[in-house]
Amino acid sequence: MDDRYIVERDEKDLLGLCREAKRGGITRRQFVERALLLGLSVSAVGALAGACGEETTTGETATIPPMDETKPAEIVFYNWTDYFNPALTKQFQKDHGFRVREVYFSSNEELLAKLKAGAKGYDVIVPSDYMAHIMIKSGLLEPLDMDYLPNFKYVGEQFRKPNFDDPDENNGLKYTVPYFYGTTGYCQRTDKVPELQTRWDPLWDAQYKGKINMLDDERECLGAALKKLGYSANTREQTELDEATQILIEQKPLVATYDSVNMRRAMVQGQSFVMCWDGDVLMGIKTMGGDARAKKLLHYVLPEEGFCLWTDAMSIPVGNSSRYGAHLFMDWLMDPKIAGENANWVWYLSAIIPASWEYTDPFALTLAPTDEQMARSEQFNDLGEFATAYSEAWRKVKSA
């Protein structure tokens, strides 16, 4: 059959579908089902609905496409390094009859670039809060069918409608469920620097040149600099961002490395200060024996000027190989027992609270922020068009 005929036929079918929707001759569910049969992705269906003038006002619950319940042979979990208990892989396969293969990314920006470039075959991804919001707005994520996620009932109340994925603002759709959350501070080696620190200042102190490690992360480093200066980590004031950029450039000769993967190794090997996430300190303490001496040597600082609180979310990207397999895996990870066992290996804070606590080693909860500390925290937000200013600022720092 002539390819041109196929294209013309498909265009005619789409036009007819739009006309039918405009005159109210089909329901929204029928519209979605027919559009999917024509080969459109879920995100394209949403765009087509808007273009056709279909009613998609805030407050109306959108219809999720029907689920193909065929189990795959394998799903791909695109995750941060050391962020999933490998012992659980066999347990999942035993419970559900198919494999999980894990591949890794090192930053949110790397993850975004991969998806924007059209990478396919990833079934579950783990973007951080602000990046999840960017991906939702960019049409890179599939909406979730919450009927297939019954364990969502165990998610802590504060994580059910985060500002980066509130279904009340997304036409009733939800695109993420929480995975882990935590804080960003730094680890102090008390045998190198005996006096306990409380501020961001030591990371800019020339006497520690070559003894400071920073995260290789645009938002985290700029966020720390902004907090040091007394500003919001989400500022959209160019002058404030310029100040933060300048002090990071001034700090750069003191920094041994920018690294978001080997923080535990750096603190164990004796770096004076290592900017890190809370779970890295716990892993470092365990590596050094897990005893009272190790806990004393690795001191975690949440600076008094303020620090960043983050949430990592699980999502299904457009171009996945199995929506059904992805839903089964995410729901399984929200089971309280599995969540607790995962936290015991990852050493970050599970969002399945309090149900996961009875399965969690108390050690994994020792760096959970107090109410007083939480009052000093700030969560990263999507910066919209101003995000390009942060990217340019980080480029200046790294190239200085």
Average pLDDT over residues 167-189: 94
Q: Which of 326-330, 370-374, 393-397 shows the lowest mean pLDDT across its residues? A: 370-374
Q: What is the pLDDT of residue 333?
A: 98
Q: 12: helix, coil or strand?
A: helix
Average pLDDT over residues 223-240: 98
Q: Per DSSP, what are the bridge partners of residue 377? A: 307
Query: pLDDT digits over 185-228, tens only?
Result: 999 999 999 999 999 999 999 999 999 999 999 999 999 999 99
Average pLDDT, the chain: 88
> For 173, phi and psi rounded to 5 degrees?
-90, 145
Q: What is the pLDDT of residue 176?
A: 97
| 317: Cβ contacts below 8 Å, ≥ 6 apart | 78, 115, 122, 123, 125, 135, 140, 141, 142
Q: What is the pLDDT of residue 339?
A: 98
> Cα dist. 379→156, 182, 279 in Å?
17, 10, 17
The pLDDT-based confidence of 54 (bands split at 50, 70, 90) is very low
The pLDDT-based confidence of 382 (bands split at 50, 70, 90) is confident
- Tell whether the model's pLDDT for residue 14 goes beyond 90: no
Comparing 43 with 210, which gets the higher pLDDT? Answer: 210
Residue 343 amino acid letter: A
Strands 177-189 and 124-125: unpaired
User: Rounded to whole angstroms, how far apart are CA atoms 34 and 186?
Assistant: 53
Query: pLDDT digits over 283-295, tens only?
Result: 999 999 999 999 9
The pLDDT-based confidence of 42 (bands split at 50, 70, 90) is low
- Tell whether the model's pLDDT for residue 23 goes beyond 70: no
Comparing 52 with 111, which gets the higher pLDDT? Answer: 111
- Tell whether the model's pLDDT for residue 55 goes beyond 80: no
Q: What is the pLDDT of residue 390?
A: 97
- Tell whether the model's pLDDT for residue 119 goes beyond 70: yes
Q: What is the pLDDT of residue 64?
A: 82
User: Rounded to whole angstroms, how far apart are CA atoms 222 and 232?
Assistant: 10
Comparing 23 with 164, which gets the higher pLDDT? Answer: 164
- Tell whether the model's pLDDT for residue 25 goes beyond 50: no
Q: Which of 331, 352, 327, 324 is nearest to 340 (CA)?
A: 352
| 370: Cβ contacts below 8 Å, ≥ 6 apart | none
For the whole model, what pTM was predicted?
Answer: 0.75
Q: What is the pLDDT of residue 33?
A: 52
